[in-house]
Structure 1
Amino acid sequence: MRKLFAAFAFITTAILSCQSDNKKYTTVDSTIMSGQETVYTVPDECFEYKKDNSTASLRIYGTGENKVLGQLKYQFDGKDKNSGDIYGLVKGDTIIVDYKFQSEGEYSHREVAWLRKGDQLLEGYGDVYQVNGDTKFKDIHKLIFGKSITLTKTNCK
């Protein structure tokens, strides 16, 4: 019996010593283990701009946080339409997003900003620069809002 126990101890030690130190660890969210989920109930918000033959539409998905996700479309009279996804942050009454869009088969990326005034979003404009093909604002604090496109809240379709 002692020989069997010694053999078992030897084999177990040998197996354990051969295992790699590169163990994979899994982090488990405690809410999963407790059976509780965090559910955000902020509804989607939709906004539109219409003037003559030009339109713009924005749908912001309700995240319940200071993060913004959504879809944006522009179709200006005499220009190519573009549409794509937005993601970014809400800072007070200002929304600043990255807009990844497609226009005439080409993909582009630029920053967009809005100032919330009640049920309206005033689009911001300012000096920009290019970084690796992406268009960014030079200084977010110097943006001018309300001089061009004003999106008005509407029912989501």
Structure 2
Amino acid sequence: MLFLSAILVLACKGPKEDSPIDVAFSPDEEHVEEINTECFRYFGEKDTVFLTTHIDGTNITGTLDYSFFEKDKNSGTIEGEIRDNMIIAEYTFQAEGLTSKRQVVFKNTEEGWKEGFGEMKPVDGIPAQVNIDSLKYNHDMILTPVPCD
């Protein structure tokens, strides 16, 4: 009896190891904390742009919606990277009932995120900026932080 009690006490004091199932389905706390979600909006007289970002290290995903007066709405997703205070991403969107893709570049300025515009050419069938370093940001469409709903 004394021997069984000693074994029971030793078994209870040993380090608990998670089962392989627990490990596979438990979120990695550090990884969850690294993912950062933010929302940004440009609100013009008749135009709106809404950007939601999910940042994980240098990777970025999210949604991007353009609603310009008297033009078809573009709504879709972005997937890319954060580099040198810029979002460089592939934008997959729906417009006029078709799915299209193009590269988008946003630069973080003192006022907020501004989309860069420049000469584009197809790369693997997807319009992309010819020279990211020479993009123009000289417009008033500034995306500023807003609460995510």
| TM-score in same-fold range (> 0.5) | yes
1:97 aligned residue: 89
Rounded Cα–Cα distance in structure 2 between residues aligned with 1:132 and 1:54: 31
1:72 and 2:72 matched: no
Compute the TM-score of the two structures, normalised by the length of structure 1.
0.72
Identical residues among aligned pairs (%): 31
1:47 and 2:43 matched: no
Q: Which moved more, 1:45-54 or 1:123-132?
A: 123-132
Within a 5 Å distance, the mapping from 1:26-65 to structure 2 comes to 32=23, 37=28, 38-41=30-33, 42-63=35-56, 65=57
CA contact (8 A) 1:72 1:85 kept: yes
Matched position secondary structure for 2:92: strand
CA contact (8 A) 2:60 2:81 kept: yes
CA contact (8 A) 2:59 2:80 kept: yes
Unmatched runs of 5 consecutive residues or more in structure 2: 1-22
Unmatched runs of 5 consecutive residues or more in structure 1: 1-31
How far apart are 1:36 and its partner, in Å?
7.9
AA paired with 2:76? Answer: G
2:118 aligned residue: 126
> Which residue, out of 104, 108, 113, partners 1:112?
104
User: What is the root-mean-square deviation in Å for CA atoms of aligned residues?
Assistant: 2.0
CA contact (8 A) 2:111 2:142 kept: no
Rounded Cα–Cα distance in structure 1 between residues aligned with 2:145 and 2:111: 5
1:87 and 2:79 matched: yes
